[in-house]
Amino acid sequence: MRKLKNSELDRLNVDEFKQAEKTPVIIILDNIRSLNNIGSVFRTSDAFLIKKIYLCGITATPPHNDIRKTALGSTETVDWHYSEHTMDVVKHLQSENIKVISIEQAENAIMLNNFQPEPNQTYALVFGNEVKGVAQDVVDASDLVIEIPQYGTKHSLNISVSCGVVVWDVFSKLEVRG
């Protein structure tokens, strides 16, 4: 089996990406401190045609060299907006009938493998701070909480890994790309 060259991958250019129909998923980053994690979330968002990223609180914004290092140009393709307060974004999105889902370990959380997205519904996935997770007021205001099943000794995954796992799972269940 021969590995494909980048030129053989038939990827979208920036203009085609901007015009493409987006996956009905929005990402909210709640006080993410690692610039590399932020860049990785941009890259994952580009890969799955995510509608938008909201960068909230202490979450840094492009342009920044450490974000750019892991984003590999995806800060130029994925739509993003900064908001000082995550709750403002949550309330705004909910007023537009977007379901807000915190990705967190919480009472009565739905395990990711049991989550079934509704057709024609847009979801906003909230990923929290590397140490404190999603802020409690955001968890309280969320329509749902999803937990990633974990079976080892550690209590959490890196935020960029969590984002990749959840976005892939939701994307695959939405069946938006033939």
- The residue assigned the tokens 């049991």 is 114
pLDDT of res. 176: 64
- Asked if 90 contacts 96 with a C-beta cutoff of 8 angstroms, the reply is no
The encoded tokens of residue 84 equal 């000082």
34 closest CA partner among 88, 6, 70: 70
Q: How far is 33 from 46, CA to CA, in rounded Å?
A: 21
Say which DSSP state 129 is in: B
pLDDT score, position 24: 97
Give SS3 for 105.
coil
The CA distances from residue 28 to 168, 173, 177, in Å, are 16, 20, 23
pLDDT, residue 175, reads 72
Q: Determine the Cα–Cα distance for residues 109 and 105; give it in Å rounded to an integer.
A: 7
Q: Domain residues of the chain, as ranges?
A: 14-174
Per-residue pLDDT of the chain (178 residues; tens, 9 = 90+): 999 998 899 899 999 999 999 999 999 999 999 999 999 999 999 999 999 999 999 999 999 999 999 999 999 999 999 999 999 999 999 999 999 999 999 999 999 999 999 989 999 999 999 999 999 999 999 999 999 999 999 989 999 999 999 999 999 999 765 5
Exposure b/e, 52-78, CB count within 10 A at least 16 = b:
bbbbbbebbebeeeebbebbeebbebb
- Identify the pLDDT of residue 117: 97
| Interstrand relation of 110-111 and 144-147 (parallel, antiparallel or unpaired) | parallel
Q: What is the dihedral of CA 93, 87, 118, 177, to 10 degrees?
A: 70
Please say whether the beta carbons of 28 and 90 come within 8 A: yes
Position 104 scores a pLDDT of 98
> Beta partners for 54?
28, 81
Task: Indicate the class that CATH gives domain 14-174.
Answer: alpha beta
pTM for the whole structure: 0.95
